[in-house]
Structure 1
Amino acid sequence: MTTRRDFSLMLLATGALAACASEPAAAPMRDLTFDPDRFVPKVFTVDGRRIAVRAYEGLPVVARPVEPACQAINVYIPEAYFRGEAVGRYTARTAPIFLPNQVGGYMPALPGRPDERMGPPPAPGTSAPPSAMAVALARGFVVASPGARGRTLRAADGRWTGKAPAAIVDLKAAVRWLRHNAGRLPGDTERIVSNGTSAGGALSALLGASGNSADFEAELQAIGAAPARDDIFAVSAYCPITNLEHADAAYEWQFQGLAEYRSIAISMLDFKVERKEVAGRLDADQLALSRELQAAFIAYVNGLGLHDGAGRLLQLDASGRGSLRDHVSALLAASAQRALDRGDDLSGRPWLSIESGRVQGVDFTAYAAAAGRMKALPAFDGLALETGENQLFGDARTDQRHFTAFSVRHGRAAGAARADALTVRQMNAMHYASDPSARAAPHWRLRHGTMDRDTSLAIPALLAAALRERGLDVDLALPWDRPHSGDYDLDELFGWIERLM
């Protein structure tokens, strides 16, 4: 199901549909060696400061691409590094590599550029803030923005070429390409920091959790990925749409008993994206299915054996209450307190208990009602195979497939197939967060706004808990009143990265 954030990203993804042409069967092998002399000089302006860079655009990251324009990378390097100069605290040898993907809605994505800013247009009379890539360059980072195949791509022979796990395989190939060229291009390939929003946030998290996993080796070999590692140093993930096989159940846990919803329908007309709000109400049968999904989520959570930051076991009772709900409520309370401390007016929030400028408690049921249900049931694995996620889990010959036992059992599409277990696992950071055979990134920054209804708040909370169980450094926060969006706190993001260095 396409989200508000995904709508803004689809404008670029639509262009990728035309640009990501399938590779002819007899195409020559691509050379994966970085050539420092093949660049275009460019200048970007950040806060009035002009940044001269060398732009290397459309570089292939695999030797045998299926969709060449998507399986490519744009690399931007401050010109100062080629003169032996420093930019801020970094040199050509020590500069971190910022790896932002442009994926939205699991659609195809071209490599990004610093003069493109993802997200809604600026308000009338205001100028757009700089992109994350431009800010990274101004701070002395090397920027490497990879493309990725997506769920709507189809070859001339009718085969679907961008189904799961194509997108994560392409991002891994980009990391391998960077390491393959270590020493040829400026930047520290042991300090790669990924960034993404929504589906792109899920892929950023998946890239960070599944480093060097053997699960992906066959696909990487098939497209001619470079012989190198694909683990990374740090992950920035905004509102990651991840853990899809449990996301339907988590959604019903959070919005249990709420029948009304207001979803966003996305359509294409004459190559223009149109969006329309669709109001609906769950009927009695659907509310019964909602209770079934909530029960499945309770069983899932209680089987994980995860703990919060204080070491308390995260559990739920039969009503959906318990320490996990308390943990999520505490995250909401912390967000509200930060808003109060900076002077925000939080009156008119009946789900908050505030005394003498301090947040005393959160009524989670009232919070969910105030936020409002955004999605119908199920939120992700549609019973009629109607969602973008159903399309993601198709295969070379099938456009849409189920990916949960619940939707297979209750589905309305005759003869609908279910994605195999490996493919589903390959798209879920939660699986690899607890897999000791995968080399997870040591540092994580997860952000999910308090007014983001695209997935349950439990999804990032559980991911953070699973990562902490591995002893990893995790910074999770729920920015106050923030809807489904990303790259809205770039000073804080890059301040966090620089502290890690």
Structure 2
Amino acid sequence: MKKPIYLCAMTMALSLAACVNAGNQTPSNAADMDKRQRSELTRLPAPADLDFAKQSGSVQQFELEGQTVRYRAFENIVYVLNPVDTRYQFMNIYIPEAYFQDESIDDFTAETAPIFLPNQVGGYMPATAGRPELDKRSGSPNAMMVALSKGYVVASAGARGRTESTGRAPAAIVDLKAAVRYLKANDKQMAGDANKIISNGTSAGGALSALLGTSGNAPEFEPYLQQLGAATADDTIFAVSAYCPIANLEHADMAYEWQFNGVNDYQKISIENVDYRIERKLINGVQTSEQIKLSDELKQAFIPYINSLNLYNKQGVKLTLDADGNGSFKRHIEGLLMQSAQEAINRGEDLSDQTWLTITNGRVVAADFAAYAKFVGRQKTTPAFDGIDLSTAENNLFGDQQVAKKHFTDFSMANSTVLGASKADSRTVYMMNPMNFQSKTKYYRIRHGENDRDTSLAISTLMALKLDKENKVVDFALPWGRGHSGDYDLQELFDWAKSISAP
């Protein structure tokens, strides 16, 4: 037990909050929680300093699988001295109560417990700090609840996002880095080992989680952190968990068309932020002749990019593409899909409807990537990310305070249909790509659902291959039947976390 925790426990006034029952929460309870969260989206006061020892907390609890999990909650902590928007630039920290009693949980103690750092970012929109509660979609305990039950200290940081003029790139990653620096600077004042921070995120949040890992202490971010008054500490982290990361945006359009070129029917998802909640609507259509032409061009542009990366598989085969977009890189992804399918068959699943697979006597012997793309279907029109009409979330991400939406690739800038369109600063675009940095983080767990149509499988595959090349420990898979989602395998996630961080 770290001595300052004893001091906090002796001096703070504790209140026992209402129990959140993970098995019995009703829809009205969930609505009350949403209402409470919205009511707190007001500007919090900026701190005089960044000393965690001055924070007061309350004892709370929930029931999970018959276990009462008691923890101490420290909420609404503004983690920089000069915040721009404290509706989002705050952090919630939750510490298992056992650590205040000098007890251990699953071999973790107050000194050795890893710090689980999930972000709530979706669509690169603003995100408030999370809480241990039931997932609003599934009704299951969220990752923060599970983490606390397993002895992790949980720190969830909010971050600015693209729909606010001060939240565009690189604001979100700067905020998450500042949160890491707060935890590092207060390592002696709070439970948990700040040298074992494990980030987690999904979609845009997955990209930010990966970027948090690869860009640790990168000098490009220092002026932004200093301007915010971030704590004086480093911002490297121990491990990364990333689900379906929407990353490598400079090449994401190329990758998407390499995968879906020739598939012209689409079922597009329109994402809107309604009352601080993400809502999705489906729009069906067929690509226009102009979109098909752009798709052909983008597919071809992906080929020299792949061949320039000098990547190899574990058997030492260089991964490349030929002039038609075929080759060892394509076969590599087909192999990953075959592995995912075989694991599903081994679990007893019936894959007889997967016409793009060749299955003989219960063994997957071949996969046709073009047929796979047609089978799962196109979700986005061309270009998928840097819209030539400046209509995408990513166009908004790369805007600034004066211009809300900008192009961020030369291709879309050259083909723009918007009179007077401008292109984002290349340095800003560079800073948002995890592929552009040499990672100081050793451990990565990347999951990209086999049935994900939102981002090309090539994007996460390239990230995993590059990290392999840098001799990082990478756990990468394409889970069968999963779409664009995350936190669906929490037991496996925390088994992995335990395996890399056990004392």
Q: Does 1:478 align with 2:478?
A: yes
2:283 corresponding residue in structure 1: 278
Structure 1 residues 41-80: aligned runs within 5 Å: 41-80=59-98
Q: Partners of 1:455 and 1:37 in 2: how far apart?
A: 41
Q: Amino acid of the residue matched to residue 257 of structure 1?
A: G
Distance 1:316 1:141 in 2: 43
Q: Secondary structure at the match of 1:189?
A: strand
Q: Which moved more, 1:43-52 or 1:480-489?
A: 43-52
Secondary structure at 1:320 match in 2: coil
Could you give the per-residue CA deviations for residues 378-416 of structure 1, whole angstroms, max 9, x where no partner exists? Answer: 100011100111000001211100000011000011111
Structure 1: which amino acid aligns with 2:459?
Answer: I
Q: Which amino acid aligns with 2:348?
A: G
Q: Please state if 1:383 is matched with 2:388.
A: yes
Q: Which amino acid aligns with 2:152?
A: F
Equivalent in 225, 243, 248 of residue 243 of structure 1: 248
Structure 1 residue corresponding to 2:260, chosen from 255, 260, 280: 255
Contact 2:92 2:129 in 1 (8 A): yes
Q: Is the 8 A contact 1:169 1:219 kept in 2?
A: yes
Deviations 1:204-262 (A, max 9, x none): 00000100000100000000000101000100000000011100010000001111111
Gaps spanning 5+ residues in structure 2: where? 1-32
**2-side partners of 1:371 and 1:13: how far apart?**
34
Between the aligned partners of 1:226 and 1:137, the Cα distance in structure 2 is 26
Structure 1: how far apart are the matches of 2:351 and 2:143?
A: 30
CA gap 1:37/1:200 in 2 versus in 1, 3 angstroms: closer
Q: Which amino acid aligns with 2:294?
A: L
* Paired residues for 1:37-436 under 5 Å: 38-117=56-135, 120=137, 122=138, 128-153=139-164, 160-267=165-272, 275-432=280-437, 435=438
Match of 1:151, SS state, is: coil
Q: For residue 455 of structure 2, what is the amino acid of its counterpart?
A: T
Letter in 1 for 2:466: A
Quote the Cα distance in structure 2 between the aligned partners of 1:205 and 1:13.
28
What's the TM-score, normalizing by structure 1?
Answer: 0.90
What is the CA-CA distance between 1:35 and the residue it aligns to? 2.3
Aligned length: 469
Deviation at 1:19, TM superposition (A): 5.8
TM-score (norm 2): 0.90
1:355-374 Cα offsets, whole Å, 9 max, x none, are 11111010111101000000
Q: Is the 8 A contact 2:47 2:78 kept in 1?
A: no
Q: CA deviation at 1:311?
A: 2.0
Superposed CA deviations along residues 8-51 of structure 1, whole A, max 9, x for unmatched, are xxxx999989865678xxx7654210026600111022212111
Match of 1:35 among 53, 58, 76: 53
CA distance in 2, matches of 1:136, 1:251: 34
CA contact (8 A) 2:291 2:381 kept: no
Alpha carbons 2:38, 2:276 under 8 Å: kept: no
1:184 is displaced (CA, Å) by 0.5
Following the alignment from structure 1 to structure 2, what is the Cα–Cα distance between the partners of residues 266 and 178? 33
Q: CA deviation at 1:275?
A: 3.7
Which residue in 2 is equivalent to 1:125? none
Shift of 1:499: 0.5
The structural deviation recorded for 1:287 is: 1.1
Cα shift readout 1:317-362 (whole Å, capped 9, x = no counterpart): 1111011100000000000000011100011111111111111010
Mapped contact 1:329–1:362 kept (Cα < 8 A):
yes
Give CA-to-partner distance per residue, 1:250-289, whole Å, 9 cap, x none.
Answer: 0000001111111012346788865432111112222111
Distance change >3 Å, CA 443–CA 274, structure 1 → 2: closer
Percent pairwise identity: 52
The CA distance in 2 between the partners of 1:18 and 1:418, in whole Å, is 37
- 1:94 is displaced (CA, Å) by 0.4
Structure ranking higher on relative contact order (CA contacts 8 Å, 6+ apart):
1
**Which whole-Å deviations, capped at 9, do the CAs of 1:413-466 have from their partners, x for residues lacking one?**
11111111110011110111xx3xxx5210000001111000000000000011
Report the Cα distance in structure 2 between the residues aligned to 1:19 and 1:51, rounded to whole angstroms. Answer: 25
Conservation of the 8 A alpha-carbon contact between 1:263 and 1:278? yes
- Provide the C-alpha distance between the structure 1 equivalents of 2:472 and 2:378, rounded to a whole number of angstroms: 33
Would the aligned equivalents of 1:13 and 1:110 in 2 still touch at CA under 8 Å? no
Q: Distance in 1 between matches of 2:184 and 2:337?
A: 39
Task: Look up the match of 2:27.
Answer: none
Q: 1:268 to 1:427 in 2, by over 3 A?
A: closer
Q: Which amino acid aligns with 2:65?
A: D
Structure 1, 264-273 or 422-431: larger mean CA deviation: 264-273
Distance across 2 between alignment mates of 1:264 and 1:15: 29
Report the secondary structure of 1:286's partner residue. Answer: helix
Q: Distance in 1 between the 2:372 and 2:140 partners?
A: 31
